[in-house]
Structure 1
Amino acid sequence: MATRILIADDHLLVSQGLQAMLSLSDDLELVEAVADGATAVEKVKQEGIDIVLMDVSLGNGINGIEATRQIKEHSPETRVVIITMFTDPGTVAEAVKAGADAYVSKSSTREFVLQTLYEVVNGRSVLDPNVTDGIFGRISNRDPNVLSDRELEVLQELTHGHSTKGVAERIHVSEETVKSYLKQVFRKLDVKDRTEAVAEGFRRGLVH
């Protein structure tokens, strides 16, 4: 089954270039191209998107970072690849904190962007070499920022011994959503179960 991709970029030429790139692969299916963050969030809710190619600056309305945060809250398993001209450490850090799975400069080669898509499908985070080396630690599996705010919240609830149902009630989401968050927490912390997740969380100082 092809990986379903949504493009969110308000620059027509960039959007068309990304669409042309996706058309070269039988494994990648373009669902739609949109020009603003709010529409991107709604499309993820409606269409079952696997990957969002997201610009940071999206003109009117919410920007790509806020759109990423909302997408991850609603659909933790949807991968978000930020593709932008902004490579300053502050913007990169904000994007990763919002839950972005990869950060790619628009100056990257087509081959690098395609490889990034395949990497994130397989659960790996990617940082473009064009981005400051000092930011790399912020998206590695040993940095607290690898977990989104919601994932940290779920991890904190685990320290109190709450069941999946209990966590869902406390943070006001469905049990299925909590299960999705847990899968992401386990993957990012490289652990197998709740007990290991809590222990690793304390070791890294993510919970108290």
Structure 2
Amino acid sequence: MPEHPLRLMIVDDHPVVRNGLRGMFDGLPDIVVVAEAADGHEALTQARSARPDVVLMDLRMPGLDGVGAIERLRAGHPEVRVIVLTTYDGDADVSRALAAGVAGYLLKDAPREELHAAVRMAAAGGRIFASKITSQLVERLGPAPKAAPTPRELEVLRLIARGAANKEVARALLISETTVKTHLKHVFAKLGVDNRAAAVVVAMERRLI
């Protein structure tokens, strides 16, 4: 158990959902709900004062929606890990969330234990996606390409999967940020994706990392 409990914020426009999610985390020694928000704008305000480690974020909300909130939250607080928790699993929703840099994408029928594990994994730098989402993404991308990522490209991707930024990857591998970006560009092309989170999902599904 960490020295200090993980700080969790819940963002959903339905009070009953927020109450239900809070109840799922009540009593855990290592996770504490520090804030709730009913829309994206409120989430940004609460994040500044509550300083959460992880955010459970709904997608469809009035005003500023989930993806918009994620983009602004990541820009202002890149250390915060965001997990989408929604009833929507369409390609457009998933693609927008992945492009925004989420640490996970779960559906609202996820059991309590899966939510607990997802928050802990996200806080530790990992990523977690509902099996249905992963299957859809891999199916949409089609069969594995003939050109596989090189060992160096996989080293970069493993660090990205742990939540490292380009600068941190460059420092760890003793290469430049430009080289990191080049490796990622090649990985995206080989895996048939267009963003970091999708690359991690596909690489994990294909047991590359």
Q: TM-score, normalised by structure 1?
A: 0.71
In 2, the alpha carbon distance for the partners of 1:27 and 1:199 equals 38
Runs of 4 or more off by more than 4 Å in structure 1?
Answer: 141-144
In 2, the alpha carbon distance for the partners of 1:119 and 1:132 equals 17
Gaps of 5+ in 2: 142-152, 187-209
Q: How far apart are residue 201 of structure 1 and its match? A: 1.7
In 2, the alpha carbon distance for the partners of 1:199 and 1:190 equals 8
* Residue 179 (structure 2) aligns with: 199
Which of these residues, 4, 13, 20, is aligned with residue 23 of structure 2? 20
In 1, the alpha carbon distance for the partners of 2:108 and 2:179 equals 39
* Residue 71 (structure 1) aligns with: 73
Question: C-alpha offsets along residues 94-126 of structure 1, whole Å, 9 cap, x if unaligned?
Answer: 011112111000011111111101110110011
Question: C-alpha offsets along residues 75-105 of structure 1, whole Å, 9 cap, x if unaligned?
Answer: 0000111100011122111011112111000
Q: How far apart are residue 46 of structure 1 and its match? A: 2.1
* Residue 11 (structure 1) aligns with: 14
Contact 1:82 1:103 survives alignment (8 Å) = yes
Counterpart secondary structure, 2:59 = coil
Gaps of 5+ in 1: 148-181
Which of these residues, 96, 99, 119, is aligned with residue 97 of structure 1? 99
Which residue identity lines up with residue 36 of structure 2 in the other structure? A
Instruction: Report the aligned-residue RMSD.
Output: 3.0
Contact 2:166 2:181 survives alignment (8 Å) = no
* Residue 31 (structure 1) aligns with: 34
In 2, the alpha carbon distance for the partners of 1:117 and 1:12 equals 21
Which residue identity lines up with residue 47 of structure 1 in the other structure? A
Which of these residues, 108, 111, 122, is aligned with residue 110 of structure 2? 108
In 1, the alpha carbon distance for the partners of 2:27 and 2:137 equals 31
Counterpart secondary structure, 1:5 = strand
Provide closer, same or farther for how the CA distance between residues 104 and 191 of structure 1 changes in structure 2, counting only shifts above 3 A. Answer: farther
Contact 1:45 1:74 survives alignment (8 Å) = no
